[in-house]
Structure 1
């Protein structure tokens, strides 16, 4: 296993992982799958300021994580929103935890001060992951997303870096 920064060409595997969540999960509120090209554009935009990491197992990308700007207004410039996705066949192996640990380590060496994570609820696994890293729940919005014919709540977890 290894974790490394995104490299050109990774967007194919990344988009496959993410598209599974788009099509089969409420973990993301996106509803249309992304092409590898669309994913590459997104990655290039985010990596101008923040890390985008992939997890390799036997040279196959089985997970990824990244940070993006929390909000476009300038006063939010020290606040990021993280995301982590693990291939559906590799859940429960500590991949998300390893990715998050590396992402938080890298963010600690930037001008990032606050990390705010939005979690579609219910999602016990994601809540456990965030709380294991010291995030605390700071908000809950009821029925703000609509996907698969049902209303979805959104919880907010926050961590301040030292």
Structure 2
């Protein structure tokens, strides 16, 4: 691991003042990678709607080091049906120069703890199969590949596959 240590990181719920930097991070991935399946950059209004959704269970957090944003992590609704309410979808987006330094793993541990506090039972992460770094992050941290969809997306003139990973984090006796 390089000069960034996990103890130097902090997490803050995303607020309006974080949005321009969050938008820049996300739109970098939209324009340059297959990490996001958006093909057009998002607007500040679209990012605001995604990050500041008003639902107390589905939250977004800035990843900070000494007050400087390293990226962000979020938990969103997995499916919009009540039976899925104990499942959440997680995503981690880092500034390109903050990858490979343990920041993503710290963010993953943070969001898992937050999800457990919010009484989620299962976390799901969906990544493009080309994104080997993210795939390995989830596998190293106890996620199991639970689905693989071939040629489900198209970007940069290529057909793309996605893989879904899941981890059971909650009490297995709780059923509604």
Q: TM range, normalised to the smaller chain?
A: over 0.9
Deviation string, structure 1 residues 41-74 (Cα, Å, up to 9, x no partner): 2111165322311111342212100000100011
Alpha-carbon distance in structure 2 between the residues aligned to 1:89 and 1:124: 17
Instruction: Mark the runs of 5 or more structure 2 residues left unpaired by the alignment.
Output: 1-8, 171-176
Matches within 5 A, 1:131-150: 131-150=139-158
1:71 paired with 2:71, answer: no
Alpha-carbon distance in structure 2 between the residues aligned to 1:137 and 1:40: 31
Secondary structure of 2:118 counterpart: coil
Matches within 5 A, 1:14-29: 14-29=22-37
How large is the RMSD of aligned CA atoms in angstroms?
1.3
Instruction: Mark the runs of 5 or more structure 1 residues left unpaired by the alignment.
Output: none
1:95 paired with 2:103, answer: yes
Aligned partner (choices 34, 40, 58) of residue 32 of structure 1: 40
Query: Retained in 2: the 8 A contact 1:21–1:27?
Result: yes
Structure 1 runs of 4+ with >6 Å offset: none
Matches within 5 A, 1:7-18: 7-18=15-26
Alpha-carbon distance in structure 1 between the residues aligned to 2:22 and 2:103: 14
Aligned length: 162
Larger Rg: 2
Alpha-carbon distance in structure 2 between the residues aligned to 1:47 and 1:6: 13
Q: What TM-score, normalized to structure 1?
A: 0.94
Alpha-carbon distance in structure 2 between the residues aligned to 1:45 and 1:51: 8
Query: Retained in 2: the 8 A contact 1:53–1:99?
Result: no
Alpha-carbon distance in structure 2 between the residues aligned to 1:46 and 1:124: 33
The aligned residue for residue 6 of structure 1 is 14
